[in-house]
Amino acid sequence: MTRVAVIDFETTGMSPLQGDRATEIGVVLMEGEQVVDRWHSLMNAGVRIPYFIESLTGISNAMVQAAPPAAQVMAEAARFVGDTPMAAHNAAFDRRFWQAELALAGQAAPQPFACTLLLSRRLYPQAASHRLGALAQWHALPASGPAHRALADAETAAALLARIRHDLRRQHGVADVHHGLLLQLQTHPRHRLQSVIERHLA
């Protein structure tokens, strides 16, 4: 059974290269379409959270100041994930922070990332919006808690990934949706979706 760690970060901004840091991490472990474990933590990276971000996430400076150090949290996250392949909604964003925060903690980040945003754009071009919350509504996914909190958003992304796996099985005839197939699908143009699947099935 394919095991995937679905991750979501709350951060102080968009880019670790600009000095932005993670404030919260949530990880949901899936086997196939089932959630088998979950883990989350606030983290203190020693930087101030802008007011706009506080308002967006509800994560305050006082909350992160009371949280464990970022390096300690990331070491625990790395142990929890191990070498499990990963997924996230707009994975380019979470992968940047995963790699940057682990690098600051002296840890490697070798895991490949599947992206539910890229996969949704290919599988559901008729959706009006591919934001995580909009897709959750569009698919009628189960509610997972307040948006813009790491574990709730990781749960929603995990439910979306389960839906993607389900639709690949039921609508496209893929018996076993390997992580490698997801990585292939997300890197090909939308119009080549079916040919990639057919090559995989051959």
* Cα diameter, the chain: 55
- The reply on whether position 92 binds DNA by CB under 7 A is yes
Give the chain's length.
202
- Please list, in sequence order, all residues whose beta carbon lies within 8 angstroms of the beta carbon of residue 165, skipping any fewer than 6 positions away: 32, 33, 177
Cα–Cα dist 101/91, whole Å: 15
Question: Could you say which residues in the range 24-63 bind DNA, by CB under 7 A?
Answer: 53, 56-57
To DNA, the closest distance from the beta carbon of 193 in angstroms equals 10
Neighbour count for residue 31 (Cβ, 10 Å): 12
Give 131's contacts (C-beta < 8 A, 6+ positions apart). Answer: none
Termini Cα distance of the chain: 21
The correct pick among 6, 29, 100, 132 for binding DNA (CB under 7 A) is 132
Instruction: Kindly tell me which residue out of 60, 84, 90, 107 binds DNA, with binding defined by CB under 7 A.
Output: 90
Our finding on whether 194 is near DNA (CB under 7 A) is: no
Pair of tokens at residue 30: 């899936």
Give the count of residues interacting with DNA (CB under 7 A): 34
89 vs 179 by CB, closer to DNA: 89
Under rule CB under 7 A, residue 166 binds DNA: no
Residue 155 lies near DNA (rule: CB under 7 A): no
Q: Which residues bind DNA (CB under 7 A)?
A: 8-11, 13-15, 17-18, 23, 53, 56-57, 89-90, 92-93, 96, 117-118, 121-122, 125, 129-134, 148, 153, 186, 189-190
